[in-house]
Amino acid sequence: MIRLAPILLAVLYGYALYRFSAWRTARELDAKSTELADPMLRQLCDQMAEALEIPRIKVHIYEIEPVNGLAAPDGRIFITRGFFNKYRAGEVSADEMASVIAHELGHVALGHARRRMIDFSGQNAARTVIAMLLGRFLPFGIGAWIAGQAMRLLAAGLSRKDEFEADAYASALLVKAGIGTEPQKSLFRKLESLTGARGASVPAWVLSHPKTPQRIAAIEANETKWRA
């Protein structure tokens, strides 16, 4: 018989840890960000806002060097200074930057932050249950390690699902705003060189983001479906 107290504690711990992480992230973003003021990117954001029938899309620049976009747990959209510098240097076009913003808007609109909070709490509970069950048959520590690896694979799979969903949302928004999906696909093709990531030799099931060919294929499949 599995005891419920450790499982309940694992759920509460996961929830508390997520909330603390979200609070710490918000404080970091408040201290190290400014609102985006680039005229061309603002114009593209206005096009997307009109397509969404909302007054404005507010985007911030997060003052760190890694190339990335971010949807904060509180719903704010950020692009990093490193990413913005790539745009200013001509390595990334304005339309490609708009595709990043559209993708992060997708995470917000689809409630992915809230879903991750629930998933994280559930994964802590599942890790506890698996570790307790395996602990009856395996030497000390091995069950907990296996449980941790299983939850890591599960979390990666859920994250990939979120990325595909945010990509689809971005594609639909970009089409509706008159920007189209070509900038989205062209950015994916250059993303590894921009970020310095090298995921080609890593198995897809351990990655938190889908591989580039899979993302482009999914976008093109959506385009075919929408045209039909």
Q: Average pLDDT for consecutive 10-residue bins of the chain (228 residues)?
A: 61 68 80 93 97 95 93 90 95 97 95 74 65 69 73 77 95 96 95 70 60 94 88
In the chain, the number of structural domains is 1
pTM of the complete model beyond 0.85: no
pLDDT for 29: 85
Distance CA 162, CA 106 (A): 9
In terms of residue numbers, what domain contains 108?
Answer: 4-227
Q: How far is CA 10 from the centre of its chain?
A: 24
From edge to edge, which strands make up the β-sheet containing 69-71? 33-35, 59-62, 77-80, 69-71
Query: What H or E segment, with its residue span, contains residue 73?
Result: none
Distance CA 145, CA 122 (A): 17
Distance CA 111, CA 201 (A): 31
pLDDT for 11: 62
Q: Which two tokens stand for residue 77?
A: 């959209």
